[in-house]
Structure 1
Amino acid sequence: MNKFSHIDLRVNDLSRVLPFYEKLLPALGFTRAFHSADWRVFAGEGELPRTAYFAITEDREHQPNANLIGFWADDREEVDRMAELVREIGGTINDGPRLFPISPTYYAVFFEDPCGNKYEIVHRLN
């Protein structure tokens, strides 16, 4: 069983990054929105609170760091499509998409949102 529950992400400029996440998160399967005054919540299929969700709030003092959030891709083509989407919506590709020497089939793209938070989308067989 996948024990993942949710991500509570801080960004230093919500108005700048929200258009990015409104395109990225649905493409990753977070297709339902539950927004409040302070939080923008994107959830997967299923009932809250049991389904995975990604919540974003603004903290003007937030400083991105070396933390990284990773997502699975079904195949290399999905990694490539997501890399192209990241470019189109204002993200920064830091590396890839390409094979990485983590394992013989580790195909990934590493990128940042417009505020500098770091991500990876990966497909691997072993």
Structure 2
Amino acid sequence: MNKYSHVDLRVNELERALPFYEKLLPALGFVRTFHSADWRVFAGEGELPQAPYVAITEDPEHRANAHLTGFWADSREEVDRLARLVAEAGGTVADGPRLFPISPTYYAVFFEDPCGNKFEIVHRLN
């Protein structure tokens, strides 16, 4: 069983970050939205509260740090496609997509959202 539930993500400028997430999260399978005045919620398949989701809220005092959230990709081609989407949507690709010496098949892209939060998309076989 996948124990992933959700991520509550802070951004310091929602207006700047939201267009990025409106492109990235549906491409990662978070295709349903449940927005409120304070939260923008992007959910995957399944019924809430069991469905995985990413919830984004604005905190003007938030400062990005070394925390990193990783997402799986089904193939190297998907990593490449999502890396292009990140760049087109206003994110910053920090490294990759390429093989990393974590394992012989660890193919990933590391990137930041417009507010500096760090992410990774990875495909690996072992």
Deviation at 1:42, TM superposition (A): 0.2
Deviation at 1:16, TM superposition (A): 0.3
Find the counterpart in structure 2 of residue 98 from structure 1.
Answer: 98
Deviation at 1:19, TM superposition (A): 0.3
Q: How does 1:26-105 map to 2 (within 5 A)?
A: 26-105=26-105
Q: How many residue pairs were aligned?
A: 126
Deviation at 1:92, TM superposition (A): 0.2
TM-score relative to the length of structure 1: 1.00
Distance in 2, matches of 1:87 and 1:59, equals 24
Find the counterpart in structure 1 of residue 17 from structure 2.
Answer: 17
CA displacement, residues 15-63 of structure 1 (integer Å, 9 cap, x when unaligned): 0000000000000000000000000000001100001000000000000
Q: Percent identity?
A: 81
Aligned-pair Cα RMSD in Å = 0.3
TM-score relative to the length of structure 2: 1.00
Q: What are structure 1's unaligned runs of at least 5 residues? A: none
Find the counterpart in structure 2 of residue 119 from structure 1.
Answer: 119
Find the counterpart in structure 2 of residue 107 from structure 1.
Answer: 107
Q: Partner of 2:35: helix, strand, or coil? A: coil
Q: Partner of 1:9: helix, strand, or coil? A: strand
Distance in 2, matches of 1:56 and 1:97, equals 26
CA displacement, residues 54-95 of structure 1 (integer Å, 9 cap, x when unaligned): 000000000000000000000000000000000100000000
